[in-house]
Amino acid sequence: MQTANRYLGVNYYNTSPNVAVPPEYVLQRFFDFDQELVLFPSATVPFAYVIARRAHRTGGYNVHDPAFLSAPPDTKFCVEHHWLPVTIMFKTGLTWEVDTVLQQLAARDIWRAGGAEAAADQLDAADEAKELGTKAAIREDMWNRSGDAWRSYQARTGQRTKYRYGHRHAPS
DSSP string of the chain?
A: -PPPPTTBTTTB----TTSPPPPHHHHHHHHHH-TTEEEEE-SSSTTEEEEEEE-SSS--S-TTSHHHHTS-HHHHHHHHTTEEEEEEEE--TTS--HHHHHHHHHHH-TGGGTSHHHHHHHHHHHHHHHHHHHHHHHHHHHHHHHHHHHHHHHHHTTS--SSTTSSSSPP-
How confident is the prediction along the chain (172 residues), in pLDDT tens digits per residue?
Answer: 345 667 667 788 888 888 888 888 888 888 888 888 899 999 888 888 999 988 876 665 666 677 777 788 888 888 888 888 888 888 877 778 888 888 888 888 887 778 888 888 988 999 999 999 999 999 999 999 999 998 888 888 878 666 555 555 555 5
Separation between Cα atoms, residue 99 and residue 39, nearest integer Å:
15
pTM, two decimals, is: 0.64
- The answer to whether 57 and 66 have CB atoms below 8 angstroms apart is no
